[in-house]
Chains A and B, each alone.
Chain A
Amino acid sequence: MAKSTMQLSISNRLHVFRAEHKITQDQLAKEIGVTRATIIAIEGGGYNPSLELAFRLARYFKTDINTIFSAEEEKK
């Protein structure tokens, strides 16, 4: 197991942005070039996207990456 000094918990507001733009998971998946299962996994917190995908999502919603994704130090 890899050792790390700090564990980060990554959360996102993707579902909020999606609701604001009135776009379905399927539509967003097609626009971004991923499967719907991936959008569901990101929204549910089950999958943390790569930097490239995170930037693609931010660009799609014409916003900054930090407004969609945020990282907090995990409490032990």
Chain B
Amino acid sequence: MKIFDSILLKVFLYGLPIILILAIFSYSCDFRSINSASTYIKLLYNFAGIMFASWMLLSIYLGVRLIFSGTFREKVLTKLAFIKEQDEREVTLTGKAAKTTMLTTIAILIFLFCLSCFQISVYRLPPEQAIDGKSKVISLDLKFEWLERVPEDASKEYIQKQNILAYTGLPISSSAIILGLIIWQIIAYNYSMRRLMK
């Protein structure tokens, strides 16, 4: 790992608590009152903004380095995932645990993919729009889009319906899913490794 990357990584890690403090401070602070604040406060606020912007740039740079640099990735992520390979047996077990983790992750991803594609809605139509005298409708649909779209305005719907149940994909945000998968990978790997080491 290059010394430059090592320094940047330390800056990123040590900057993390400062960024958290800044985030809490900015959350509790009223932005409109900044304009009327003293020059000192304005300077402080600008400095905090520059720091946050630099930290964001740094995190993007480190993210890209993690993707493209094998040595940097191995140095950083082995520590993050608590991977220890003291001898050849542990290297073999790491491989087995990684395989188990990868397969369970694929299984979870397939399940989540299904949940995100399926759309189910149960609704009641007004009597004048009833189909064959039946006003209760179950609608099943499949949705797959490469890009996230802004949901259309509900008022544009031409059917006047009373929703009983509406499931339109996963209710979890993409950031939460990604974070969940990162945590899952680390936990699943360490759990498999512990079982194999016994």
Contact = CB atoms under 8 A, between A and B. Distances in A.
A42 B140 CA distance: 56
Interface string A48-74: 011011000000000000000000000
Main secondary structure of the interface of A (DSSP, over half): loop
Interface in B63-99: 86-90, 92
A39 to B, nearest CB: 10
Contacts of B197: 37
Contacts of A34: 86-89
B87 A33 contact: yes
Contacts of B87: 33-35, 38
11 contacts: A34-B87, A34-B88, A35-B90, A37-B89, A37-B197, A38-B87, A38-B89, A38-B90, A47-B89, A49-B89, A52-B88
Contacts of B86: 34-35
B92 to A, nearest CB: 8
A16 interface: no
B88 A53 contact: yes
Q: Name the residue in A37, A47, A50, A53 with the highest tally of chain B Cβ atoms < 10 Å from its Cβ.
A: A37
